[in-house]
Amino acid sequence: KQEVTQIPAALSVPEGENLVLNCSFTDSAIYNLQWFRQDPGKGLTSLLLIQSSQREQTSGRLNASLDKSSGRSTLYIAASQPGDSATYLCALNYGGATNKLIFGTGTLLAVQP
């Protein structure tokens, strides 16, 4: 069974801290992995996509890594800001032809000013 778990479920940090969000998966035969953020009452915004052949992707203060052998991905946020407060979701794509995403349980991040 393809399960995706995110730890911690919730995280509160003071502004300016660097932080790491974790995503673990049981089936490592993925095509790619996406990190999304979801603001309250809003849709999902794609942050980063890592193909299965890649180890990491970077965009601004965000860096996502992928280690298929251990079934883990991390999202690193540098110098956190209150505007980073949101729910962060990882999603795994196992079916390349269908692009079906299996979502993780999410991490609710609160950055305190």
Partner 1 sequence: DTAVSQTPKYLVTQMGNDKSIKCEQNLGHDTMYWYKQDSKKFLKIMFSYNNKELIINETVPNRFSPKSPDKAHLNLHINSLELGDSAVYFCASSQLSGVGTTDTQYFGPGTRLTVL
Q: Which positions touch partner 1 (CB under 8 A)?
A: 31-32, 34, 36, 41-46, 49, 87, 89, 91, 93, 95-103, 105-106
Could you give the maximum distance between any two Cα atoms of the chain, in Å?
44
The nearer residue to partner 1, 26 or 46, going by C-beta atoms, is 46
Minimum distance, C-beta of residue 83 to partner 1, in the bound complex (Å): 19
Query: Tokens 């673990």 — which residue?
Result: 24
The nearer residue to partner 1, 41 or 113, going by C-beta atoms, is 41
CB 35 within 8 A of CB 27: no
Minimum distance, C-beta of residue 109 to partner 1, in the bound complex (Å): 13
- Candidates 17, 8, 39, 6; CA nearest to 111 is 17
In sequence order, which ranges of 2-111 are alpha helices (DSSP H)?
none
Minimum distance, C-beta of residue 47 to partner 1, in the bound complex (Å): 10
